[in-house]
Amino acid sequence: MKKFATLMAAAAIAGGFSVAQAQTPAAPDDIIAARQAGFKHVGDLFNAMKKGIDAGADVTTFAVGAKEIADWGRKIPSMFPKGTETGHDTHAQPTVWTDNATFNTNANNLATEADKLAVAAASGDKAKFAAQWQTTGNTCGSCHANQKFRTRL
């Protein structure tokens, strides 16, 4: 069980945000590709955490991944500059730009909840972590609700 959690944490860390954390590229397609990579990484982290929760793993191994999700939440607003509304198979809805205040609030809320997830992970309390994982996931999903900011998961 502990080996599983360690492997999942290592995989999450190895995936990293290397593409998304690089200095924002100038070409719109590059920016879109970077944000897609960042969102994919967040999805991979959430999935690894869920597997760990289901397996009863040591949740402390997920603190780093939770911090990465929080960092991504803070970075999201900068990943949607004007000029990246189309191209590179983006699924971002026009409301990202027309209702940017709500979009940015959602991103900040994700960062806040993921910070709480990191604290819950560090505490080692499996029930607290599982509950906060659910809250963080629901917050992340707020941009997908009614396909307001993204057309599909």
Query: What's the pLDDT tens digit per position in 115-144?
Result: 999 999 999 999 999 999 999 999 988 887
Q: Is the pLDDT confidence value at 6 over 70? A: no
Model confidence at 87, in pLDDT bands (50, 70, 90)?
confident
Q: Are 44 and 51 in contact (CB under 8 A)?
A: no
d(CA 91, CA 93): 6
Residue ranges of domains in the chain: 2-147
DSSP state of 99: T
What is the torsion angle, in degrees rounded to the nearest 10, for the CA atoms of residue 30, residue 85, residue 105 and residue 108?
Answer: -10
What type of residue is 142? S
What is residue 26's predicted lDDT score, i.e. its pLDDT? 61
DSSP state of 125: -
Over residues 93-108, mean pLDDT: 94
Model confidence at 153, in pLDDT bands (50, 70, 90)?
low
CATH top class, domain 2-147:
mainly alpha
pTM of the model: 0.81
Residue pLDDT, tens place only, 53-73? 999 999 999 999 999 999 999
What is residue 8's predicted lDDT score, i.e. its pLDDT? 40
**Inter-helix orientation angle 2-15/63-75, to 10°:** 30
d(CA 65, CA 71): 10
Model confidence at 95, in pLDDT bands (50, 70, 90)?
very high
Position with higher pLDDT, 24 vs 60: 60
What is residue 25's predicted lDDT score, i.e. its pLDDT? 44
Q: Are 116 and 152 in contact (CB under 8 A)?
A: no
d(CA 73, CA 60): 21
Structure tokens at 49: 């955490």
